[in-house]
């Protein structure tokens, strides 16, 4: 287990540097870009994400799933990448041709060059997705972390330069993201040439990859809808400023998102490898679930405890987002824990269950936003989204256990979830700082006690030579 802990740390190195860069860059950007423009950038990201989803066709999932089964790694790489790029070019053409109606739909007016920005963002995003996957699947943790750092620095630098040289519009955020992707792409292709040698396209391989990966498309589309309903409702019932504040609230839990990203990046190839090579890996999966649950719940409460202090670093126009952020912490916590419990669905290749799970969760989030957003605005969207992820975790866990039973300690998970909800509710609706601070400390102590064995194990493993 120690080697996996150290492997996770090597993959997470870039995550923590990104967190540091984000901690510095986000407050700086808040002084350069007003919440309204932040909100417009958030709507751009919604469309970008769904376009990326369609372009990938689930082949990125196939690349991860079949990497260890195929002898020629380069052949696997190119047979997944090329179809995604071709489809991405087609979608990019649509963005450019229908620039005006797309812009009016999103923003209520025409923004020049928005179609071209969508196209360039999409194509660089596709390439960067496979760039990261190729390095991640080889478990090159240090290189993967280096690319993370380069991408973050490029993103921040590009955003600031555009603001200073041109304007503080949402274009700055979009171009910053593109520059970050391109910077990481250049380094990735220069340092990982051996696994990307040109290879012939195989119709047989493509058929196999599509058969496995394509069912992820509707489930991913539903997941996009599930995770985007909050901003869609805010666009309908509120203003771009409110969307911007909501997006800023997401920034306060960005450390948790980065921890989620770092863990899943490391975990997925390890889980598949462990399953393929070991007949008795259930105890390993249970132990991994316990440890990541302990760390996530403790880290989540710690971040919520300091949310008001963190937002003091932001421009004054963003500080109201402090009361929007608490329930959003449930998103990275419950999603990441579910990555350790959903394995039965993926191992058994019953990927259609992802559609059912995400669909039910999306319906729950839709109903929650319908009830809460008109009353509470962005805070209502955050409450609905956070609680919906608890349902998402539950469905993933219950269904996966039918195909690959693992004795996860769900009692401790749900107890800590209840404690997190209590803190989130206080952070959203109570403005008594002393009471809130004491509550956070008490809940952190409770989590340390509940997961005492897990924290002791992690400590002992890291101390061993």
Question: Residue 279: pLDDT band by 50, 70, 90 thresholds?
Answer: low
Q: What is the pLDDT of residue 4?
A: 56
**pLDDT of 370 over the 60 cut:** yes
pLDDT-derived band at 15 (thresholds 50, 70, 90) equals low
Contact 412, 453 (CB under 8 A): no
3-state secondary structure 284-324: HHHHHHHHHHHHHHHHHHHHHHCHHHHHCCCCHHHHHHHHC
Residue 6 has pLDDT above 70, yes or no: no
337-346 pLDDT tens trace: 999 999 888 8
Average pLDDT in the chain:
88
Listed as own residue / partner, the contacts of 307-316 with beta carbons closer than 8 Å and 24 or more positions apart are: 307/252, 307/427, 308/433, 310/252, 311/252, 313/27, 314/26, 314/27, 314/30, 314/248, 315/27, 315/30, 315/31
Whether residue 275 has pLDDT greater than 70: yes
Q: How far apart are CA 295 and CA 423, in angstroms?
A: 17
CA torsion 166→171→173→174, rounded to 10°? -130
Taking phi over 0 as left and psi of -120 to 50 as alpha, with beta for the rest, 224 belongs to alpha
Q: Is the pLDDT confidence value at 53 over 70? A: yes
Q: How far apart are CA 335 and CA 326, in angstroms?
A: 16
Residues belonging to the chain: 465
Are the beta carbons of 378 and 239 closer than 8 angstroms?
Answer: no
Average pLDDT over residues 288-314: 91
Instruction: Specify the DSSP element, H or E, that contains 56.
Output: helix 35-56
pLDDT higher than 70, residue 168? yes
pLDDT digit string, tens, across residues 341-362 = 998 888 887 878 888 999 999 9
Residue-level pLDDT at 11: 56
Nearest Cα neighbor of 393 from 435, 317, 330 is 330
In this predicted model, which residue has the larger pLDDT, 43 or 67?
43
Q: What is the pTM of this model?
A: 0.82
Please give the Cα distance from 259 to 329 (Å, whole number).
12
Integer Cα distance of 321 and 244 in angstroms: 9
Residue 262 has pLDDT above 70, yes or no: no
% of the chain surpassing 70 pLDDT: 94
CA-based angle 115:119:123, to the nearest 5?
170
**Can you give the pLDDT at residue 280?**
66
**pLDDT at residue 124 greater than cutoff 80:** yes
The string of pLDDT tens digits covering residues 406-455 is 899 999 999 999 999 999 999 999 989 899 999 999 999 999 999 999 99
Provide DSSP, 157-181.
HHHHHHHHHT-SSTHHHHHHHHHHH
What spatial distance separates the first Cα and last Cα of the chain, rounded to whole Å?
13
Domain parsing of the chain, residue ranges = 25-214, 215-465
Look at residues 132, 269, 124, 125 and name the one whose alpha carbon lies nearest to residue 188.
Answer: 132
Predicted local confidence at residue 126, as pLDDT: 96
Contacts 24+ apart (CB under 8 A), 407-413: 407/282, 407/286, 408/286, 408/289, 408/290, 408/340, 408/341, 409/286, 409/289, 409/290, 409/293, 412/290, 412/293, 412/450, 412/451, 413/293, 413/337
Q: Can you give the pLDDT at residue 3?
A: 56
pLDDT (0 to 100) of residue 65: 82
Average pLDDT over residues 253-264: 71
User: What average pLDDT does range 64-86 have in this prediction?
Assistant: 85
> What confidence tier does 14 reach under pLDDT thresholds 50, 70, 90?
low
| Residue 18 pLDDT exceeds 60 | yes
Q: How does pLDDT run across 180-229, given as a tens digit for each residue?
A: 999 999 999 888 877 777 778 888 888 999 988 888 888 788 889 998 99
pLDDT in tens, 81-97: 999 999 999 999 999 99
- pLDDT, residue 148, reads 85
């Amino acid at each position: 287990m120690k080697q996996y802990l150290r492997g996770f740390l090597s993959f997470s190195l870039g995550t923590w540097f990104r967190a540091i860069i984000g901690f510095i860059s986000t407050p700086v950007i808040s002084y350069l870009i007003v919440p309204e423009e932040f909100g417009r950038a958030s709507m751009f990201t919604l469309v970008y994400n769904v376009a990326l989803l369609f372009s990938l066709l689930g082949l990125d999932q196939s690349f991860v799933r079949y990497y260890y089964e195929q002898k020629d790694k380069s052949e696997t790489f190119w047979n997944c990448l090329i179809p995604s790029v071709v489809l991405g070019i087609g979608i990019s053409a649509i963005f450019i041709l229908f620039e005006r109606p797309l812009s009016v739909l999103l923003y209520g007016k025409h923004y020049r060059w928005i179609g071209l920005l969508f196209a360039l963002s999409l194509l660089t995003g596709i390439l960067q997705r496979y760039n990261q996957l190729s390095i991640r699947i080889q478990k090159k943790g240090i290189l993967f972390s280096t690319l993370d750092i380069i991408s973050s620095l490029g993103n921040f630098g590009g955003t600031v330069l555009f603001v200073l040289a041109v304007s503080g519009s949402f274009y700055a955020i979009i171009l910053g993201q593109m520059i970050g992707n391109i910077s990481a792409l250049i380094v990735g292709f220069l340092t990982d040439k051996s696994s990307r040698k040109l290879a012939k396209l195989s119709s047989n391989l493509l058929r196999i990859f599509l058969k496995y990966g394509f069912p992820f498309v509707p489930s991913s589309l539903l997941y996009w809808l599930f995770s985007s309903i909050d901003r869609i409702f805010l666009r309908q019932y509120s203003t771009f400023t409110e969307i911007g504040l909501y997006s800023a609230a997401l920034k306060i839990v960005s450390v948790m998102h980065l921890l989620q990203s770092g863990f899943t990046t490391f975990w997925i190839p390890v889980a598949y490898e462990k399953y393929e090579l070991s007949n008795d890996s259930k105890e390993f999966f249970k132990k991994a679930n316990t440890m990541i649950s302990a760390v996530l719940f403790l880290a989540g409460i710690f971040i919520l405890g300091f949310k008001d202090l963190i937002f003091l670093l932001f421009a004054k126009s963003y500080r109201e987002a402090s009361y929007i952020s608490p329930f959003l912490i449930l998103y990275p916590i419950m999603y990441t824990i579910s990555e350790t419990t959903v394995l039965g669905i993926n191992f058994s290749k019953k990927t259609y269950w992802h559609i059912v799970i995400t669909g039910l969760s999306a319906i729950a989030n839709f109903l929650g936003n319908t009830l809460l957003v008109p009353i509470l605005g962005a805070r209502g969207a955050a409450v609905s989204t956070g609680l919906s992820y608890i349902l998402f975790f539950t469905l993933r866990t219950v269904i996966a256990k039918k195909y690959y039973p693992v004795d996860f300690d769900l009692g401790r998970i749900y107890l800590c979830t209840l404690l997190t909800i209590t803190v989130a509710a206080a952070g959203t609706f109570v403005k008594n700082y002393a009471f809130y601070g004491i509550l956070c400390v008490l809940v952190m102590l409770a989590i340390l006690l509940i997961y005492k064995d897990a924290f002791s194990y992690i400590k002992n493993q890291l101390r061993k030579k």
